[in-house]
Amino acid sequence: MYSNNESAELLSGLAGPDDGAVIKLDEDRALIMTTDFFPPVVDDPYEYGAIAAANALSDVYAMGGEPLLAINLVGWPEDLDTSVLGEIMRGGADKVVEAGACIAGGHTVSDSEPKYGLAVAGLANPSRIFRKGGIVSGDKLVITKPIGSGIITTANKEGEAEELHVERCLEIMSKLNGPAMRAGQELHLRINAATDVSGFGLLGHANEMAAQSGCGLIIDSKRVPWMDGAEIYAEAGKFSGGAIRNYDYFTKWIRFKKGLNKWQRLLMLDPQTSGGLMFSVDGDYASELIDRLEDKSVSGWIVGEAVAGRGGEIRVI
């Protein structure tokens, strides 16, 4: 008989917008399940596969776990050369191996456009799961990758992005969030909430965290790190439809300071592919988290803080 979230061992499921489903196996282990797939965001098949895999693996890291195994999910046009698919899957497999996991199968269907991604299983300690909710007033928000992949890949599709900007963006999108997660786990008693920054953009995912926590947030626009070129293409209006939809939906919860141009506001809602993690950390330990991230060759930026207020409300200063 169908049971909807009735298991006491189900730690994360349909009840909230966490990054993965989690079920407790025993006192020391919890199983994380997640999936993600999408059409190409770059031209090179191998790089597309690697980025799609890093993006899918990120949700396990965002929950505080280590990937264990993955299966390929593919939609493929019947008239498209399967050697291209081979390169996509090779890129994905290499990224999964880099994560210390393995590809254990998959499924392919006919589709009108290419799509690739993974379903991923991971393991975590049940007492050290990261959740989106749990922010405490006074927490600092720390992100681990600069923002701008959506605007840069959109400009690239239109043939208007500089090669150096695209190359740097690809490098950032391909980077696994495992080291960032492990730095957070070293301070797990001081990490009150976490997620990864992906399709809803920086402010969209910040809104999710604040809404789940029943608090407000202040985001300092001057401290948000941008990928090289992101502001150039934003000022030129190279936004995707996803950025516009994010803006239309989330701005009911956001108060922007006067003087921010529309493109600057939109950029903070730019959909990210394989973005970094966003931690809400006890304010007294924010600098220590930055240090631990740097010890693992991961950058970290404090971009905001939690304050008392209406759940989900964000003030951008």
List phi, psi (to 5°) of 189.
Answer: -70, -15
Select from 79, 106, 127 the last residue of a domain.
Answer: 127
Residue 259 lies in a domain: yes
| Closest C-alpha among 68, 67, 185 to residue 130 | 185
Residues 152 and 280 both lie in one domain: yes
Task: Look up residue 265 and give its two tokens.
Answer: 């506001």
Residues 49 and 150 both lie in one domain: no
Q: What is the pLDDT of residue 180?
A: 98
Q: What is the pLDDT of residue 14?
A: 81
Residue 150 lies in a domain: yes
Q: What is the pLDDT of residue 97?
A: 98
Q: Taking a C-beta distance cutoff of 8 angstroms, is the pair 22, 132 a contact?
A: no
Residue 2 lies in a domain: no
Residue 57 lies in a domain: yes
Furthest CA-CA distance within the chain: 57
Q: Taking a C-beta distance cutoff of 8 angstroms, is the pair 120, 70 a contact?
A: yes
Read off the pLDDT of residues 181-234 as tens digits, 9 standing for 90 and up.
Answer: 999 999 999 999 999 999 999 999 999 999 999 999 999 999 999 999 999 999
Q: Taking a C-beta distance cutoff of 8 angstroms, is the pair 216, 308 a contact?
A: yes
Q: Which domain holds residue 305?
A: 131-316
Residue 15 lies in a domain: yes
C-alpha to C-alpha distances, 138 to 91, 195, 198, 278, 285, nearest whole angstrom: 41, 18, 24, 16, 11
Say whether pTM exceeds 0.85.
Answer: yes
User: How many CB atoms neighbour CB 252 within 10 A?
Assistant: 9
Residue 274 lies in a domain: yes
CATH number at residue 211: 3.90.650.10
Residue 172 backbone class (left: φ over 0; alpha: ψ -120 to 50; beta: rest)? alpha
Select from 127, 150, 176 the last residue of a domain.
Answer: 127
Residues 81 and 170 both lie in one domain: no
Residues 86 and 229 both lie in one domain: no
Alpha-carbon span 63 to 184, nearest angstrom: 11
Q: Which amino acid is at 300?
A: G
Select from 127, 151, 180 the last residue of a domain.
Answer: 127
Task: Please enumerate in sequence order all residues whose Cβ is within 8 A of that of 179, keeping only pairs 6 or more positions apart, or say none.
Answer: 293, 296, 297, 298
Query: How many residues comprise the chain?
Result: 317
C-alpha to C-alpha distances, 238 to 64, 169, 233, 242, nearest whole angstrom: 34, 15, 6, 12
Residues 209 and 60 both lie in one domain: no
Q: What is the mean pLDDT of each run of 10 residues along the chain (317 residues)?
A: 60 85 95 96 96 98 98 96 96 98 96 97 97 96 98 95 97 98 97 97 97 96 97 96 96 95 96 97 98 98 95 96
The string of DSSP codes covering 34-82 is: EEEEES-SSS-HHHHHHHHHHHHHHHHHHTT-EEEEEEEEEEE-TTS-H
Residues 177 and 308 both lie in one domain: yes
Q: What is the pLDDT of residue 79?
A: 93
Q: Give me the number of domains the chain comprises.
A: 2
Residues 102 and 179 both lie in one domain: no
User: How many CB atoms neighbour CB 269 within 10 A?
Assistant: 27
